[in-house]
Amino acid sequence: MKESKKSEFYNLDKTCRLLGISPATGRNWLRLGKLVAAKTPSENDGPMFSRRAIDELLENMQKGRVAVLRSRRNKSALKGRELYVSYVAPDSPNRKNVTDFCAAFKGSGRLVTAVLVEASLRIIVSSGRLKVAQKFLSSPQSLLDAVYKGELKLGRWKFLLDDLVGRNQIENLCSDLQGVPRLELEYVPFEDTLGLLYLSLMEFSERRRGGRYYTPQKLTDEAVETLDISSRTCFLDPCCGSGNFLLRLLRRGVKPQTLYGCDIDKISLLLARINLALNTGMVDEDFLKDHLRQEDTLISVNLPPAQVILGNPPWNICDNLLLERKYAQELEGARKGHPCFADLFVERALDLLPEGGLMRFVLPESLLNVKSHQQIRDIMAKKANVASVAYLGEAFHAVQCPSVVLTLKKSEEGFKPHKISVSLEDSGHCYEVEKDDPLDFNFRISSETQSLLDRIEAVPNQILLKGNATFGLGIVTGDNKNLLLSQRVAGADPVLRGTDLEPYRIKESEKFLIFDREKLQQAAREELYRTKPKIVYRFIANYPIAALDREGRLSLNSCNFIIPTSAELLPEYLVAVLNSSVVRFYFKKSFHTMKVLRSQLEKLPIAVASLKVQQEIASLVVKVENCDEEQRAPLIRQIDKLVADCYGLNPEDFSESH
């Protein structure tokens, strides 16, 4: 959602949100001169940045002039015009044509509109719904030019194109199309070709800032095909975009009279109306404008009484203070600063649904387990029961954010203990889990898995790392290009990265660093890095990968460290526990993360074995550190069995079936 009025200057936090970078990165960019303050800060204010400078920096990021991370969901400047490769079926005849066209396309604004109008005309004509117009498809003349000259009569389709073209713009759009390569498109029933084109023409950063992450067709089908549509008389997509979910409902046989959609993006909504008309033949202005409405669903009073609300709401953060105030009048979740739109749409859907109504949304998995979404989980527990959860993994092109399809059934009595259906796409595993805690939204685990987790947590004579270890973060240089060295020079030391670690072993470092705190963006005290031994572990991983550093080496922020302080634990034994199948299982099932955080490690129940057993395991760890590759696997299996014994379990208990 865009601000109604742009402020002239923004503080650092707001600037970082607009750029899609973290405040830490913003401070580093400011230090390095990549980000330049527009005003001298007063005693009470931080640096301020002009909107013009922010826009220029965004443009440079999009064109690759400024290095940015390119795989995280919250990075807004992924290079523009990436085709949503999974948005339509792989065998779609339009996929390659749109790909090739967008790769060569250079333009924005009105030219994008001109292309969308021409594409709409080609699909309408290709569908056969304008039978007399077939001859125009083979003509070198643009269809829009034929309309302008009165050669192509649109009949009842005219109002749809008039809305898209805009008043008195057709001549300008015809002129814009001169020199633009011809885009050949076919009508494919129930395919959102226009949405694919619109997405591909938009800059990625604009999609992110507007929350426009349209849902791939395969994912939409999975969400729609298992939906109970019997006796449901009204389906609403509250953020319908160009109508993908509604098209797939039509494909399932849902009557068009029962379908409704809303969106705040005018272009998306106009494309949705064209799509609905194409796939139903209902080219009626009153019908289409009643069933597809340009509304802000979160506060609109002009919504149909839906029995099913489904779709993929935006996942971005609302940072518009005026909008927050409007939403806060209706929605509990908007009364905290910068609410997540996904949370607000879930709350709004539950408010709109009648008793027994269904909500099915594609959502970030974090909504089910991250602390910042606790409020919406509380609301869900008060107003609904969870009917099913499908885990989708990384479902969106060029976006790293695990997602789920969550189905809620409205219940005025709130959550009641019951069985919940769960599916995991990555393993094809489906099961049911019983839940009697309304605030337990960890659905990844079956009852059998939960029993194993309970046994691990109940191990007698255990210790937690919280209060029994010193944790340290690896170094953030802020300028790897200049500070990380490929060859050792005077004063430089080897520096470890996460990729240098494997269970029990540290590869020979290929990078070197001169430790000078004044030049580093972030670093722990030097004596902590020099501790011998200490445990180093990968930061980016979905379970601990740890080794003993016996040389006191430096490490980057992809390689953090632990210094055990409890006399009850030998360092070698702790490394064995962290690398064990027991902890790997516990970590993956409990945290569902791609980062190994201190807060997670501090919660691990560490079984305290007898000194004799710890010494036996420690001797094996030393052998693994020094053995050849052929001996390595048998030794690790032997260690793993001994650690599992300490928990009263067997490594076989942790098979992938759980």
**Residue 331 identity:** L
| Mean of pLDDT values over 71-91 | 55
Tell me the β-bridge partners of 463: 606
- 32-46, 175-189, 261-275, 353-367, range with the lowest pLDDT: 32-46
- The C-alpha atoms of residue 40 and residue 542 are separated, in whole angstroms, by 43
Cα–Cα nearest to 107, from 209, 182, 203, 212: 203
- Contact yes or no for 356/410 (Cβ under 8 A): yes
Q: Is the pLDDT of residue 331 over 50?
A: yes
Write down the pLDDT at residue 203.
57
Write down the pLDDT at residue 585.
93
- The C-alpha atoms of residue 377 and residue 560 are separated, in whole angstroms, by 32
Cα–Cα nearest to 186, from 282, 89, 114, 92: 92
Q: Is the pLDDT of residue 2 over 60?
A: no
Percent of the chain with pLDDT over 70: 88
Q: What is the pLDDT of residues 159-184, one digit of tens each?
A: 999 898 876 688 888 888 888 888 88
- 67-81, 202-216, 621-635, range with the lowest pLDDT: 67-81
Compare 324 and 62 and report the one with higher pLDDT: 324
Write down the pLDDT at residue 219.
85
Q: What is the pLDDT of residues 514-568, one digit of tens each?
A: 999 889 999 999 999 999 999 999 999 999 999 999 999 999 999 999 999 999 9
Residues 6+ apart with CB under 8 A from 390: 222, 223, 404, 405, 422, 423, 424, 425
Write down the pLDDT at residue 276.
97
- Contact yes or no for 73/92 (Cβ under 8 A): no
| Helix or strand (DSSP H, E) at 362 | strand 358-364
- Contact yes or no for 21/14 (Cβ under 8 A): no
- Contact yes or no for 152/143 (Cβ under 8 A): yes
| Helix or strand (DSSP H, E) at 9 | strand 9-11
One-letter-per-residue 3-state SS of 391-442? EEECCCCCCECCEEEEEEEECCCCCCCEEEEEEECCCCEEEEEEECCCCCCC
| Mean of pLDDT values over 492-511 | 96
Write down the pLDDT at residue 197.
92
Read off the DSSP letter of residue 476.
B
Write down the pLDDT at residue 206.
52
Write down the pLDDT at residue 72.
35
What are the distances in angstroms from CA 423 to CA 42, 366, 543, 584, 639? 55, 17, 22, 21, 33
Write down the pLDDT at residue 535.
98
Write down the pLDDT at residue 43.
45
Compare 136 and 489 and report the one with higher pLDDT: 489
- Contact yes or no for 211/314 (Cβ under 8 A): yes
Read off the DSSP letter of residue 622.
H
| Helix or strand (DSSP H, E) at 103 | helix 95-104
Task: Kindly calculate the radius of gyration of the chain based on its CA atoms and give it in whole angstroms.
Answer: 28
Write down the pLDDT at residue 53.
80
What are the distances in angstroms from CA 242 to CA 210, 224, 513? 14, 16, 51
Write down the pLDDT at residue 59.
62
Write down the pLDDT at residue 243.
95
Q: Is the pLDDT of residue 209 over 50?
A: no
What are the distances in angstroms from CA 444 to CA 53, 365, 384, 493? 45, 10, 19, 43
What are the distances in angstroms from CA 402 to CA 364, 491, 558? 6, 43, 21
Residues 6+ apart with CB under 8 A from 240: 246, 261, 262, 263, 268, 269, 272, 292, 311
Mean predicted lDDT score pLDDT of the chain: 86
Cα–Cα nearest to 561, from 588, 529, 527, 600: 529
Q: What CATH number should be reported for the domain whose range is 214-269+276-444?
A: 3.40.50.150
For residue 618 the two structure tokens come to: 């420690």
CA angle 617/618/624 to nearest 5° reads 90
| Mean of pLDDT values over 46-74 | 61
The pLDDT confidence band at residue 137, using thresholds 50, 70 and 90, is confident
**Placement of tokens 């690790």 in the chain:** 636
The pLDDT confidence band at residue 32, using thresholds 50, 70 and 90, is low
Write down the pLDDT at residue 80.
44
What are the distances in angstroms from CA 322 to CA 50, 206, 211, 316? 20, 20, 18, 16
Write down the pLDDT at residue 312.
93
One-letter-per-residue 3-state SS of 527-583? HHHCCCCEEEEECECCCCCEEEECCCCEEECCEEEEEECCCCCCHHHHHHHHHCHHH
Write down the pLDDT at residue 212.
55
Architecture label for domain 462-654: Alpha-Beta Complex (3.90)
Q: What is the DSSP string of 199-244?
A: HHHS-HHHHHHTT--PPPHHHHHHHHHTS--TT---EEETT-TTTH
Q: Is the pLDDT of residue 82 over 60?
A: no
Q: Is the pLDDT of residue 40 over 90?
A: no
Burial profile 326-365: b = 16 or more Cβ within 10 angstroms, e = fewer: ebeeebbbbeeeebbbbbbbbbbbbebbeeebbbbbbbbb
Q: Write the burial class of residue 218 (CB in 10 Å: 0-12 exposed, 13-18 middle, 19+ buried).
A: middle
- The C-alpha atoms of residue 393 and residue 473 are separated, in whole angstroms, by 28
Write down the pLDDT at residue 420.
87
In degrees rounded to 5, what are phi and psi of residue 179? 90, -10
Write down the pLDDT at residue 292.
97
Percent of the chain with pLDDT over 90: 56
| Mean of pLDDT values over 126-146 | 83
For residue 397 the two structure tokens come to: 């092109």
- The C-alpha atoms of residue 515 and residue 98 are separated, in whole angstroms, by 51
Q: Is the pLDDT of residue 658 over 60?
A: no
- The C-alpha atoms of residue 575 and residue 622 are separated, in whole angstroms, by 11
Using omega within 30 degrees of 0 as the cis cutoff, is the peptide bond preceding 313 cis? no
Write down the pLDDT at residue 104.
81
Write down the pLDDT at residue 427.
62
- The C-alpha atoms of residue 115 and residue 98 are separated, in whole angstroms, by 11
Read off the DSSP letter of residue 79.
P
Give all strands of the β-sheet with 292-294 in edge-to-edge order. 292-294, 259-263, 235-237, 308-311, 358-364, 403-410, 384-393, 418-424, 429-435
Write down the pLDDT at residue 177.
87
Write down the pLDDT at residue 158.
92
| Model pTM score | 0.71
Q: What is the pLDDT of residues 387-446, one digit of tens each?
A: 999 988 766 655 557 789 999 999 989 898 888 888 876 566 788 888 888 888 888 777
Write down the pLDDT at residue 533.
96
Residues 6+ apart with CB under 8 A from 285: 159
The pLDDT confidence band at residue 278, using thresholds 50, 70 and 90, is very high
